[in-house]
Amino acid sequence: MAFVVKVPAKLLVGYQHDNNNNLVSFSISRRSSNYTCVSRKQRCLLSVSATLNTHTHMDLSLPIMVNSCVGKMGQAVVEAGVSAGLHIVPESFGIEKDAGKMVQVGGKDIRVHGPSDRETVLAFVMEEYPNLIVVDFTVPNAVNDNAELYSKARVPFVMGTTGGDRDLLYKTVEDAGIYAVISPQMGKQVVAFLAAMEIMAEQFPGAFSGYTLEVLESHQATKLDISGTAKAVISCFQKLGVSFDLDQIQLIRDPKQQIETIGVPEEHLNGHAFHTYRLKSPDGTVSFEFQHNVCGRSIYAEGAIDAALFLSKKIQSKADKKIYDMIDVLREDVYEILPLRCKKIKHPRIVVYIQSGNSKIE
């Protein structure tokens, strides 16, 4: 007499038994049924493997779906997410020619889906991961379409992609009433510099009236648009009284010039952000120079992961505010530390001691 036992399919993710009762990998069917049938012969082994799977193989931490995993920035975000202990959803969106590819990043196998499958795939992923947060580092011309997709699906997201119609981007998200962190700059230290620039522009408008400005902006050759950070800094200088148009920015994308003139290390030609802002007085006797140089992508990837964790916290607390930027993320970090006194606070990268309002960083 045959026996059949029904168990929830989610318990069996990654396992089934072959004819020799050996464990082999399999994937769940997308059929409407929520159960998988197994024979009596497999029952004992299943009870063990399902239990192990629940505790060991199902990562119950925050699930994030990183789009554009074929790109270097997306891959850096995946690696940062793995390091932070987040659950990386094994699905990602990409361009049509990459559809169907399997990309291995940070020890994870991720399947890439083309534009035509986005809505179906996103609906499936959201059903599997109700607490999902999407991290978007795609291309400028996909910004508004992606925001519309996320808004229609009502999935919270972190967007570090630059370009697109920014006014339309914010309106789309605001009308949908979903949670999002939107920032052209994800590096928290660079964001702190931008915040300082904004404070100076607000408190001392016109302080540099009459000064001339020179801006050099060097990025990897694959970066197609003007840096959003450069635009933000220039906006501050304009409030400080400097006359400058964006078409005056010196965009440096030639590797030889980047090495010889800018000083970019050769090993970082494919991933860097070197910005220099030079101010000179009308008579040429006074000059100021602001510079921030970033090699690699880890600063942005780690910032994006911090933003995802920040957004998850806001969602759980049902915060009234829905749309945030990286300054909000940075302030949250500060305010979580400052109220504490005489306590040791562990951070993934630093250890901070608070004693009577004074901080010591080791």
Q: Which of 17, 72, 101, 223 is catalytic?
A: 223
Please name the residue that has the structure tokens 């916290």: 313
The distance in angstroms from the start CA to the end CA of the chain is 69
Catalytic choice (113, 188, 219, 275): 219
In whole angstroms, what is the distance from residue 49 CA to residue 21 CA?
12
- Contact 55/125 with Cβ under 8 angstroms? no
**Residue 275 designated active-site:** no
- 223 tagged catalytic: yes
* Residue that is written with structure tokens 């995802």 in the block: 308
Catalytic residue numbers read 219, 223
